[in-house]
Amino acid sequence: MLSFVTRSRAATILILAILVLTFVPLTLRPLFNLNEGLYAEAAREMLAHNPLIPRLDGMPYLEKPPILYWLIMLSYKIFGVGKFAARLPSALAALGTLLVVARFARTRFREPLWPAVILFSSVGFYMMSQLVLFDMTFTFFHTITLLAFYAYIERPEEPSRLMLAAAASALACLTKGLIGIVLPGLVVIAFLALERRTIRGLPFLAAWGVFFLIVLPWHIWMMQHVPGFFDRYIIQEQFGRFLGTLKPMDYRRPPFYYNFEHLLLGIFPWT
């Protein structure tokens, strides 16, 4: 009984610490990053003009899809335009990711809180939870995609898990573009190949139906209402940025070790 009480108290303290460390710092500093100001302003202009078309200085801003902007707009509606409201979606996405990981771990590990603790205390994860960037919202949907898919592999008689994975992948695409299907797709393909498994039949087709039902409407609407959307957003931002042919080039191509170096830093102190 003492052990149970001690563990419950430790869990309560841990949860309170996570909440304090997540929400309090949101208001302690101005928007200091170029992208923070850019994305916060784009959401404000969408709120003032058209909620479907991302804008910057009154002009369509076609670098990123709309979900983070929509979440910031909702936050502005509730809390007013400001740094706390702009950063709140990232903080909530971080907490959502922790909950998803803890729930997944609860029935699979002896100490289900440890994965969430390690994740929250990793430098990169915590930093992204405090910034007006697309990364944490994308991480939330991407995590659901992979864990829901794995849950389906465990129990293929429950296709709703595969539908959840497809829906989360579509929302990841509406958060940060094609990487929302490419990244989990590569993981899934590698997993199925190594495990020598396949997914066929109605669940496979239904999953793609769910994906396209969510991801297509905004893209079709934008192509119909915003001249040049297909070339700028699909060709330039989705393919040109990856291939290094974006025009105009608005970033410097990093060295080959960039991702490895940031991975080691991002998971510190668990490196």
Q: Assess whether 126 and 6 both reside in one domain.
A: yes
Angle at 236 between CA 94 and CA 58, to 5 degrees: 75
Given 81, 105, 133, which residue is the final one in a domain? 133
CA atoms within 13 A on the CB side of 227: 1
Within a domain: 258: yes
Within 10 angstroms of residue 181's Cβ, the number of other Cβ atoms is 18
Eight-class DSSP state of 158: -
Predicted confidence (pLDDT) at residue 4 exceeds the cutoff of 70 = no
pLDDT interval class at 252 (50, 70, 90): confident
Q: Supply the pLDDT for residue 3.
A: 64
Q: Assess whether 127 and 245 both reside in one domain.
A: no
Cα–Cα distance measured from residue 195 to residue 137, given in angstroms and rounded to the nearest whole number: 30
Alpha-helix residue ranges (DSSP H) falling in the chain: 2-23, 34-48, 67-79, 83-106, 113-120, 123-128, 135-154, 160-176, 179-195, 201-225, 229, 241-243, 258-266
CA atoms within 13 A on the CB side of 47: 20
Tens-digit pLDDT profile for residues 22-70: 999 999 989 988 899 999 999 999 999 999 999 999 999 999 999 999 9
Within a domain: 198: no
Given 133, 154, 188, which residue is the final one in a domain? 133
Within a domain: 173: no
Q: Above pLDDT 70, what percent of the chain? A: 98
Q: Assess whether 10 and 125 both reside in one domain.
A: yes
Which two tokens mark 224? 């119909």
What is the extent of the structural domain holding 263? 227-271
Tens-digit pLDDT profile for residues 88-147: 999 999 999 999 999 999 888 877 788 989 999 999 999 999 999 999 999 999 999 999
Cα–Cα distance measured from residue 165 to residue 261, given in angstroms and rounded to the nearest whole number: 30
CB proximity list for 109: less than 8 A, separation 6 or greater: 115
Within a domain: 124: yes
Within a domain: 65: yes
pLDDT averaged over every residue in the chain: 92
CB proximity list for 82: less than 8 A, separation 6 or greater: none
Answer positive or negative: Cα dihedral of 237, 239, 242, 247.
negative
Q: Assess whether 129 and 235 both reside in one domain.
A: no
Which two tokens mark 74? 């909702």
Total domains present in the chain: 2
Given 133, 155, 180, which residue is the final one in a domain? 133
Within a domain: 154: no
